[in-house]
Amino acid sequence: MDNVVLKALRERRSIRRYKPEQITDEELQAVLEAGTWAPTGMGRQDPWIVAVQRPDLVERIDRLNGEILGSPHPFYGAPTIVLVFGSDPEVWRNSVPDGSLVLGNMMLAAHAIGLGSCWINREREMFATPEGKALMRELGVDEGLIGIGALSLGYPASFPPSVKPRKEGYYRIIK
């Protein structure tokens, strides 16, 4: 069985090199809108999405995340960073799964319109620091939310050379 969605699922890859030019407002809107259509527990729509394109903030987020990682430039030079926040899992237990589905939808949407993306971790740790909390306030993100994940987003400068084959026994069917 094959269709455009199944093909996109097979072909989407994490992009780790970006062209410096900024994506269009229309492209960004399409990716963000796709995130809002992700399923959420009880239809709560708990995640919050913040797209950052201002160069000084992109650089600051990249630096903060890199400090947690212990390596520079974890956003791979992408001109746009999309952050996803949610309630503390102590408050809403579906917070992380809900935000993860939002990130997944946005990665597929980005691929579908010719953009590259890569899921970036460490947002929970990053936004728990004093500098991270200050940045959340600057971004207008409610105190009490946690960072769930982020995307580097932009025009791909290169593509992964090959695709790993799927592991044997990845799924099974029991009838």
φ/ψ bin of 32: left (φ > 0), alpha (ψ from -120 to 50), beta (otherwise): alpha
Q: Which domain CATH number covers 141? A: 3.40.109.10
Read off the pLDDT of residues 21-79 as tens digits, 9 standing for 90 and up.
Answer: 999 999 999 999 999 999 999 999 999 999 999 999 999 999 999 999 999 999 999 99
Is 13 a domain residue?
A: no
Q: What is the DSSP letter of 156?
A: B
DSSP string, 61-122: HHHHHHHHHTSS-TTTT-SEEEEEEEE-TTT-TTHHHHHHHHHHHHHHHHHHTT-EEEEE--
Is 142 a domain residue?
A: yes
Residue span of the structural domain in which 143 resides: 20-154
Residue 160: its pLDDT value, please?
84
Query: What does the alpha-carbon distance between residue 83 and residue 120 come to, in Å, rounded to a whole number?
Result: 9
Is 167 a domain residue?
A: no
Residue 138: its pLDDT value, please?
97
Is 173 a domain residue?
A: no
Task: Write out the H or E segment, with its range, that includes residue 146.
Answer: strand 145-154
Is 88 a domain residue?
A: yes
Query: What does the alpha-carbon distance between residue 164 and residue 45 come to, in Å, rounded to a whole number?
Result: 34
Is 161 a domain residue?
A: no
Number of domains in the chain: 1
Q: Is the pTM of this model over 0.75?
A: yes
Would you tell me the crossing angle of helices 95-112 and 25-36 to the nearest 10 degrees?
A: 140
